[in-house]
Structure 1
Amino acid sequence: MRLSRARGCMGCHGMLRKQVGPGFAQVAERYKDDASASVRLAIKIRAGSVGAWGRVIMPQQTQVTEAEARLLAEWVLAQHAEPKR
């Protein structure tokens, strides 16, 4: 998604695996059975968080609008891990 690049998400997150923060597919896997995950992730995107993935800090992303945060959260949760061989 272009928005993830435009807002700097790809600087810390990979599609599948951890870089600085978890990979988007890892986030989707963790929250796959959580109906409220997209709302909570959208809040974390804008407000930041610490401790959800160890000691890694997710800094506030105040340049991301609330609408963009919702789109990003839904997109992240739709990611899939590589198929196992």
Structure 2
Amino acid sequence: MVRKQVGPGFAQIAARYRNDPEAPARLADKLRDGSVGAWGRVIMPRQPHMSLDESRRLAQWVLSQPSPP
């Protein structure tokens, strides 16, 4: 997803955190624990069914997306 739908697009997330070496671990935690306030009032529901390995791989994938056009 390149454009914002309900929350930010994957490319927007990647662009924001691209130069942050702590981003993969923080994003993996946010995927599992949920988050609110990082992108305004948009709530990202927690995904407790994801394993730590799955959340880390998904965070790496999101961060690998090219910058938005």
> In structure 2, how many angstroms separate the alpha carbons of the residues matched to 1:82 and 1:41?
19
For the structure 1 residues 72 and 61, does the alpha-carbon distance in structure 2 shift closer, same or farther, using more than 3 Å as the test? same
Moved over 3 A (4+): none
Q: Taking every aligned residue pair, what percent have the same amino acid on both sides? A: 62
Task: Note closer, same or farther for the CA distance 1:48–1:82 as it changes in structure 2 (3 Å cut).
Answer: closer
Kindly indicate whether residue 2 of structure 2 is the aligned counterpart of residue 42 of structure 1.
Answer: no
Query: Matched residue of 1:56: which SS?
Result: strand
After TM superposition, the structure 1 stretch with the greater mean CA deviation from structure 2, 69-78 or 59-68, is 59-68
Q: TM-score, normalised by structure 1?
A: 0.77
Structure 2 residue runs of 5 or longer lacking an equivalent are: none
Tell me the matched-pair count. Answer: 69
- Relative CO higher for 1 or 2, CA cutoff 8 Å, sep ≥ 6? 2
Q: 1-side partners of 2:53 and 2:32: how far apart? A: 11
TM-score (norm 2): 0.94
Q: Does 1:52 align with 2:48?
A: no
1:5-44 matches, within 5 Å, as 15-44=1-30
Cα distance in structure 2, aligned partners of 1:16 and 1:81: 9
Q: CA deviation at 1:64?
A: 1.1
Structure of greater Rg: 1
